Amino acid sequence: MKLFKAGAAAAVSVVLALTATACGGSSDKASDSGASGGAKKDKIVIGIKFDQPGLGLKNPDGKFTGFDVDVATYVAKELGYQPNQIEFKQAVSAERENLIANGDVKLVVATYTINDKRKAKVDFAGPYFKAHQDMLVRADDTSITKAEDLNKKKLCSVTGSTSAQNIKTKLAPDADLREYPGYSECLTGLENKAVDALTTDNSILAGFAAQEKNKGKFKLVGLNLSDEPYGIGLKKGDKDLQTKVNAALKKMVEDGSWQKSVDANFGPAGYKAEPAPQITEGS
- Domain layout of the chain by residue ranges: 44-130+229-269, 132-227
Task: State residue 79's pLDDT score.
Answer: 98
- Tally Cβ neighbours within 10 Å of residue 228: 26
The yes-or-no verdict on residue 176 having pLDDT over 80 is yes
* pLDDT band at residue 144 using 50, 70 and 90 as cut-offs: very high
| pLDDT, tens digit, 9 for 90 and up, residues 59-94 | 999 999 999 999 999 999 999 999 999 999 999 988
Q: What is the mean pLDDT of residues 138-164?
A: 90
* pLDDT band at residue 196 using 50, 70 and 90 as cut-offs: very high
- Tally Cβ neighbours within 10 Å of residue 224: 11
Percent of the chain with pLDDT over 90: 65
- Tally Cβ neighbours within 10 Å of residue 215: 10
Task: State residue 229's pLDDT score.
Answer: 96
Q: Which CATH number is 132-227's, of 3.30.428.10, 3.30.70.270, 3.40.190.10, 3.50.50.60?
A: 3.40.190.10
The yes-or-no verdict on residue 116 having pLDDT over 70 is yes
Pairing of strands 227-234, 176-180: unpaired
- Tally Cβ neighbours within 10 Å of residue 236: 16
CB hemisphere CA count around 222 (13 angstroms): 5
Task: State residue 31's pLDDT score.
Answer: 40
Backbone angles phi, psi at 158, to 5 degrees: -90, 150
- Between 39 and 157, whose confidence is greater? 157
Q: Minimal CA–CA distance to 164: which of 207, 188, 198?
A: 198
Quickly count helices (H) and strands (E) in the chain: 9, 12
Q: What is the mean pLDDT of residues 164-190?
A: 90
| Cα separations in angstroms, 173 against 56, 71, 178 | 31, 36, 13
Q: Do residues 205 and 198 make contact, with C-beta atoms less than 8 angstroms apart?
A: yes
| pLDDT, tens digit, 9 for 90 and up, residues 7-52 | 444 444 444 444 444 443 334 444 444 443 334 569 999 999 998 9
Q: What is the mean pLDDT of residues 240-249?
A: 98
Distance CA 111, CA 106 (A): 16
ω into 83 cis (within 30 of 0): no
Mean pLDDT of the chain: 86
In this predicted structure, which of 134-138, 193-197, 270-274 has the lowest mean pLDDT? 270-274
Secondary structure letter of residue 112 according to DSSP: -
Task: State residue 181's pLDDT score.
Answer: 86
Q: Do residues 181 and 157 make contact, with C-beta atoms less than 8 angstroms apart?
A: no
Q: What is the mean pLDDT of residues 164-172?
A: 87
* pLDDT band at residue 283 using 50, 70 and 90 as cut-offs: confident
What is the domain class of 44-130+229-269 according to CATH?
A: alpha beta
